[in-house]
Structure 1
Amino acid sequence: MSSTLPFRRSLPALAIALGLGLGMASPSMAEDRELLNSSYDIARELFAEVNPLFKANWEAQNEGDTLTIKQSHGGSSAQARAILQGLRADVVTYNQVTDVQVLADEGLVAEDWQQQLANNASPYYSTTAFLVRKGNPKGIESWDDLAAEGVELVFPNPKTSGNGRYTYLAAWGAADEQFDGDEEQIQAFMGDFLGNVKVFDTGGRGATTSFIERGIGDVLISFESEVNNIRGEYGSDDYEVVVPPVSILAEFPVAVVEENAERNDNLDLARDYLDFLYSEEAQRLLAGFNYRVNNEAVVEEFADQFPNTKLFKVEDVFGGWDQAMEAHFASGGQLDQLQRR
């Protein structure tokens, strides 16, 4: 009997504790919230700046609540696979449409995700550009120059990197325009272009390391935003950025991982986070990181920062990402055939 007495005597205290607990669960009481953003490899520094801005705005509108934002970074395709394998990210901010679409195909992201936000759910965009060494000793101005004899290239492997796939498709699309769709001339150009690749790293950060720290190659090919950020970090006097006259539109799609966000009770928070990327404040920050944006006021403010270039879409030249992936990057596709020459 004595063993039951402590429990009986604690009932009033327990009732009080339960009452307090119910009070704490009231909507009027403060909450600690946590959001996970799954993003691409070279976006670490970008979201290190975006997240505090969103946190400050969100907490000001949700007085008393606190928010922690966590990041998961890696190759865009690898990040998508991690979500399929159980990573409970609330939102994705990727650099290739197919990596969001694979989540939509599995029911984790809404089927109409590209219609849920402006600009095909791409709050910012970029293109593919070149980083060359001081004085541009090889005289690189266009894609055609990259196929010249004696020019050594560094960019990520298109088999493993969305960044690398954009580079490959940008080169093909530029050749398609130059040779007016002549397949034989396009393939000859691409053979020379790929033959000049000195290092095929698995991702954008690895390619930067090869070019900057290991001193390999004459040209690093990456997103315009990335090559400008690299130049700013490693020395504007030591490197130059070349934006070719024709290049590809590189979209950076975002989406709510609805199944995860609902399980995490974060659906509204996740939507707010992605909406914030379209705000003038965030757009100005994105432009400061050398991404192109669509906010008219910010576009005008940063007009001198972005050279004019003719941008084509994947759909314009290849029919869409599904067709491009199948024709060029699948086993036995154009990339494999060109590399066997």
Structure 2
Amino acid sequence: MKKNKILSLAIVAALSTSLIACGNSSSNGSSVAEGSDEIKAANSGEVIELTNVSYDPTRELYAAYNEVFAKHYQDEFGQTVEITQSHGGSGKQALEVANGLEADVVTLALEGDVQVVADAGLIDDGFTSEYELDSSPYTSTIVFLVRSGNPKKIYDWNDLIREDVGVITPNPKTSGGAMWNYLAAWYYFEQQGQNDSEILDSIKQLYANVVVLDSGARGATTSFVENKQGDVLIAWENEAFLSLKEYPGEYEIVVPSVSILCQPTVAVVDEVAKKHGTADVAKEYLGYLYSDEAQEIEAQNFYRPSTKSIYDKYVFTADSNTITEIPADGKWINDNVNLTDINHFGGWAQARADHFADGANFDSIYEQ
């Protein structure tokens, strides 16, 4: 999570850096077809190169997963795969791929960002049906990260509109995680019985308290954790737990009364994969995210796994909405949260039109 460990998108795109080996077969039954470009590469001794364009908080997850996939692919198909990782705000990443950054796969923060790439003609229709659970192999939710002892006594969304509270959250125009943050807040105020006009006023008060509006979730974490800005970070659950892990005793997680089920979406960038001859390995790479081995890695990196038996291993019974440390037994999932989902907002196309398009609600409350 340190700033000097984070490669810029420009460097990744221009120099194809951060190569991590990867490798083998998937739980959705995909396989490398006889006569495919991967088989030809194997016969010639060439290394298969794959680019995964992802969003900010998945750095640690894919650093671990790529090593496991490399071994899996080598064992199953006898071929080496080298993976280039690119990370940044999910919305910005989607635009980069749509505008020419050649990703074989995208693993972005939400379906709507993958749709941006599809709208550019690079991903075939029906990408949410390519894999289980709407092509979302792991999920997350939105929580608060506060400083040790919670000096501002921040416990729920209504505390974020107090005049004495400084908020850190990314920009929904560039960050998929920021969209989830915004929608979770909207849902809270809706649950308080406010009408749309009143909700807009509450959200406007919240964003009036934003100290720094970073372009991505990792940048927002850096602003709060390393630069010591603000009183509360609205964060992906996994980002908050990584902060507890890296800075023990310095921060606490506050789980609000309501939040939202965040569903990151994965997809093969079909046109690029065809061009590179990587379609088979790209499908294998995403399919293996559903394997038990990968699901354990996801849980260990504080993403909620989609396999129920593995999910249940990490659930604990919460007696408080405050988490002060990583549990010694590894059980970190608080399952007692009122979570809405994107369907409550009419799906991503409707949510974008209502809240994040030019001239929509976010512009009306923040960019005047």
Q: Please give the residue correspondences for 1:119-198 in structure 2 after superposition, counting only pairs within 5 Å.
A: 119-179=133-193, 182-198=195-211
- Indicate how the Cα distance of structure 1 residues 26 and 144 shifts in structure 2: closer, same or farther if over 3 A, else same: closer
2:145 equivalent to 1:118: no
What letter matches 2:135 in structure 1?
A: A
Question: Take 1:224 and 1:239, find their aligned partners in 2: how far apart are those partners?
Answer: 13
Deviations 1:171-226, CA, capped at 9 Å, x for gaps: 011111121x5223322322221222122112222212221222111101111111
CA contact (8 A) 2:91 2:173 kept: no
CA distance in 1 between counterparts of 2:80 and 2:357 reads: 45
Aligned to 2:270, which of 251, 258, 265? 258
Residue from 65, 71, 85 that aligns with 1:56: 71
Partner residue in 1 for 2:294: 282
Q: Distance in 1 between matches of 2:82 and 2:367?
A: 49
Q: Which residue of 2 aligns with 1:200?
A: 213
1:138-174 deviations in Å (ceiling 9; x for gaps): 2222112212231111111122211111111110111
Question: Counterpart of 1:9?
Answer: none
Provide closer, same or farther for how the CA distance between residues 76 and 27 of structure 1 changes in structure 2, counting only shifts above 3 A: closer
Counterpart of 2:150 in structure 1: which amino acid?
N
Q: Secondary structure at the match of 1:74?
A: coil
1:231 to 241, 244, 247: 244
Matched residues, number: 314
SS at match of 2:305: coil
Q: Deviations over 1:252-296 (max 9, x none)?
A: 100011111111111111111001100111011101111111212
- Going from structure 1 to structure 2, the CA distance change for 1:193 and 1:25 (only over 3 Å counts) comes to closer
Query: Would you tell me which structure has more helix in proportion to its own residues?
Result: 1
**Please, what TM-score do these two structures have when normalized by structure 1?**
0.87
CA change 1:58–1:197 in 2 (3 A) is same
Partner of 2:230: 217
CA distance in 1 between partners of 2:283 and 2:297 (Å): 19
Per-residue deviation, 1:66: 1.7
* Selected match of 2:343 from 315, 319, 324: 315
* Number of the residue aligned with 1:72: 86
Where do 5+ consecutive residues of structure 1 fail to align?
Answer: 1-23
Who is 1:95 aligned against?
Answer: 109
Contact 2:106 2:269 survives alignment (8 Å): yes
The Cα shift of 1:25 comes to 5.9
Q: CA deviation at 1:337?
A: 2.0
Tell me, yes or no, if the aligned pair for 1:224 and 1:243 is still in contact at 8 Å: no
CA distance in 1, matches of 2:103, 2:211: 36
Partner amino acid for 1:54? F
Q: CA RMSD in A?
A: 1.9
SS where residue 134 of structure 2 aligns?
helix
Do 2:107 and 2:264's aligned partners in 1 also have CA atoms closer than 8 Å? yes
Alignment partner of 1:36 out of 51, 66, 86 = 51
How far apart in 1 are the matches of 2:176 and 2:40?
Answer: 44
Q: Do residues 326 (structure 1) and 353 (structure 2) align?
A: yes
Shift of 1:31: 3.8
Distance 1:139 1:268, change over 3 A: same
Gaps of 5+ in 2: 1-38, 317-331
* Distance of 1:85 and 1:195 partners within structure 2: 33
Aligned to 1:16: none
SS at match of 1:244: coil
Larger radius of gyration: 1
Q: Tell me the residue number matched to 1:268.
A: 280
Amino acid paired to 1:61: E
1:143–1:174 Cα contact (<8 Å) kept: yes
Contact 2:90 2:216 in 1 (8 A): no
Q: Aligned partners of 2:102, 2:165: CA distance in 1, in Å?
A: 44
| In structure 2, distance between residues paired with 1:78 and 1:251 | 18
Displacement, 1:117? 0.6
Percent identity at matched positions?
Answer: 42
CA–CA distance in structure 2, aligned partners of residues 278 and 56 of structure 1 = 16
Q: Which amino acid aligns with 1:247?
A: S
How far the C-alpha of 1:133 sits from its partner, in A, is: 0.3
Judging changes above 3 Å, is the alpha-carbon distance between structure 1 residues 90 and 340 closer, same or farther for their aligned structure 2 residues?
closer
The range that moved more, 330-339 or 265-274, is 330-339
